[in-house]
Structure 1
Amino acid sequence: MNKKRSSSLIAGLGALLLVTQAQAQETLYLFNWSEYMDPEIIQQFEQRYDVKVVQSYYGSLGEMFSRLQSGGTSQFDIIVPSNYYVPRLIGAGLVQPLDKSKLSNAGNVMEQFADPSFDPGLEYSIPYQWGTTGIVYDTTAFPDAKPSWSLLFDPEVNPTQPFAIQQDGQVMIGAACAYLGKGGDCTSLDDWRAAAQLVLETRQRSNFSGFVDGTPVLQQVARGTVKAGITYNGDFLLKKDEDPEGFANLAFMLPEEGAEMWVDSMMIPKNAPHPELAHKFIDFIMEPEIGAQLSNYNQYSSPNQAAEPLLDDALREPPSLPTDEQMAHLYFSPSLEGAQLQQFQQLWNEVRSR
């Protein structure tokens, strides 16, 4: 064999080896909210474990749930649902229990999140971030605004300024229940009906702009399309940092009647293609430095006790971290299943369609 042919063969074998190695490289499939992950964290995970991370995004929890029901349990390795969807995912058989022997950093979870009612003992989930749901509003339109849901629900408080509300039924019914003095975690059918009637009357007012979710509404308020809407504390802070001029006259409030406190958690779908890698990713996120990096990027609170000393100062004060007085008025949206969930969905569909 001559030298030229020998070199060509070696080059060909080398190229084949590189292709084979690339094909053998594991891939983690992450299904998450958009703009909810620091790209540098993904790069660090890829480099440490010599893997590839492919991210897909959902705009609502309902969208995520439907995707899993239609085959998504075998398409994704990690999902990031909110607390009230966790029992629903477990009950539907869409997620698998965690192997705690593979999660050396699970002990970093703060005590207040270590044994939640929605997943006792964290058998299926590990907290990712936590935050609050409140009202974003234009202070020039509402210079004397009080921290109250009346800014949206009371036509005397806001008779003319355009406003939006969220599409998520549990967010809206919870807010209405809180405003009516029934507690934001209300679950009785009579309370739901009263809250649904209030939301229905609210959406029939002439200055109701529409159903707009938490992130898009921030841009609408910044542009002046609407003057008030419902959003999340971390999203508000993040967008304010990105556009300080556009957000100069905007503020975020937690209504004193009660506001939602939520926890987003990492879970592994039932038929995840790479469950071992999924456990590595969860454990990676729970490292103190990575947990702090995630919160410093998202501007949401960290459920990681070991990450707390590494957080930015802004994450130690409102609106990122509620005051003790505000914490006393926060509630978790209840987890609904079975016939109770069907009743709720039917009621909310009626509100949306009328």
Structure 2
Amino acid sequence: MKTGRKVLAAAAMLLASTAMAYADGELQIYNWGNYTSPDMIKKFETENKVKVTITDYDSNDTALAKIRQGGHGFDIVVPSQNYVPIWISEGLLLETDPSKMPNFKNVAKQWADPPFDPGRKYTVPWAMGTVGTVVNTDVYKGDINTWAIVFDTPDELKGKVNVVPEMNDVIDAAVLYNGGKKCTGDLTILKKVRDTLVAAKPNWVAMEYGTINKMVAGDFAASSDWNGSALRQRLQKPSIRYGYPKEGFVYWSDNVGVLKDAKNVENAKLFQNFMMDPENAGMNSGFHRYANGIDGSDKFMPSDMKDAPEVNVPEEFAKNGVQSETCPPEVQALYTKIWTELQK
């Protein structure tokens, strides 16, 4: 009996040491800037004895171009849902089968089998939100729930508006503002979109991603933006408000995928499973201020997110939202052509 116990104990120690070696090492995360909780990462490092390095990118296109080049050394990437099918179709993501991971049971039902990753073969939820407007209401007292803030800028805001230069977000907004549908290939609508953008640009002061500090400091008085960014701004400057454009706005999500050429695959899988734990997802949301698609995570979020209008879309505006989707290649090419002209 003692011998049997010794054998079992030895086997357990072997399994433990194997598991430890399995987790030891590094993890290279390639993610949007200012989007990852340092405390959450520290927790992952401590629990798994993995050293995490985070490298920032500023757009879906930047990330995709970098990985396409190869030789990047990253393990994890966090693309938006309209880009996930592109990553999958180009063979850039590893099929890790998150749906078979222990913590998958925590994924909210509506995010367990999304059209952009059927069956969750590649990705797990990171964050979700909307694209709208932010306005300093000390500067402008009019309607903020309209894309006219950006595309037909009121006099009070001219020369004070920023546009976050995420191509699809900007063009989708302009399409909706002109009465079109997302991913439209209608050349009449797209000509209006092009004309709208070109005419509006002289009224903008910048096209930058870093809105939080500059909105709070007063360098910008309005901007196109994401809802979590808007919440972080309001918490620092109460006069800043988030608008849900009546012409339509986009619901989006970002998702954690493992790169096909990742060097630390097992650690990357550990991270995917880790992010489906409610406490970890809630901790991360407490930093970036977006919802996350993990059931039970709200218990671990700051109390000021519970009723925040930036996180919880008011019922009066919810009907105007449309889901982000992957546009057909020919439409994406037209978007790129418009965007290239806008950059001149």
TM normalised by structure 1 equals: 0.84
Residue 332 of structure 1: aligned partner: 323
Quick one: structure 1 residues 189 and 148, their matched pair in 2 at CA, closer, same or farther if it must change by over 3 Å? same
Matches within 5 A, 1:273-312: 273-312=263-302
- Contact 1:150–1:157 (8 Å) recurs in 2: no
User: Please, what is the CA RMSD of the aligned residues?
Assistant: 2.3
Residue 223 of structure 1: aligned partner: 217
Please, which moves more after superposition, 186-195 or 77-86?
Answer: 186-195
Please, which moves more after superposition, 58-67 or 108-117?
Answer: 108-117
- Contact 2:171–2:335 (8 Å) recurs in 1: no
1:313 aligns with 2:303: yes
**Which stretches in structure 1 are left out of the alignment for 5+ residues?**
1-20
Quick one: structure 1 residues 302 and 172, their matched pair in 2 at CA, closer, same or farther if it must change by over 3 Å? same
Supply the distance in 1 between the matched residues of 2:302 and 2:108 (Cα, whole angstroms).
18
Supply the distance in 2 between the matched residues of 1:159 and 1:132 (Cα, whole angstroms).
22
Supply the distance in 2 between the matched residues of 1:254 and 1:217 (Cα, whole angstroms).
17
Residue 27 of structure 2: aligned partner: 28
1:208 aligns with 2:199: no
Displacement after TM superposition at 1:344 (Å): 2.3
Cα distance per residue 1:263-302 (max 9 Å; x no partner)? 0000011111111111111101111111111112221112
Aligned residue among 219, 223, 247 for 1:257? 247
Supply the distance in 2 between the matched residues of 1:163 and 1:179 (Cα, whole angstroms).
17
Residue 104 of structure 2: aligned partner: 106
Report the secondary structure of 1:84's partner residue. coil
Displacement after TM superposition at 1:343 (Å): 2.8
Residue type at the aligned position of 1:289: E
Aligned residue among 313, 332, 338 for 1:341? 332
Quick one: structure 1 residues 176 and 284, their matched pair in 2 at CA, closer, same or farther if it must change by over 3 Å? same
Matches within 5 A, 1:12-161: 25-72=24-71, 75-100=73-98, 103-155=101-153, 160=158
Report the secondary structure of 1:326's partner residue. helix
**Which stretches in structure 2 are left out of the alignment for 5+ residues?**
1-19
Report the secondary structure of 1:230's partner residue. strand
Please, which moves more after superposition, 114-123 or 170-179?
Answer: 114-123
Displacement after TM superposition at 1:325 (Å): 3.1
Supply the distance in 2 between the matched residues of 1:159 and 1:307 (Cα, whole angstroms).
38
Tell me how many residue pairs correspond in the alignment.
323
> Matched residues, percent identical?
27
Displacement after TM superposition at 1:260 (Å): 1.7
Residue 12 of structure 1: aligned partner: none
Q: Which has the larger radius of gyration?
A: 1
Displacement after TM superposition at 1:40 (Å): 1.5
- Contact 1:170–1:333 (8 Å) recurs in 2: no
Displacement after TM superposition at 1:349 (Å): 0.9
Quick one: structure 1 residues 142 and 264, their matched pair in 2 at CA, closer, same or farther if it must change by over 3 Å? same
TM normalised by structure 2 equals: 0.86
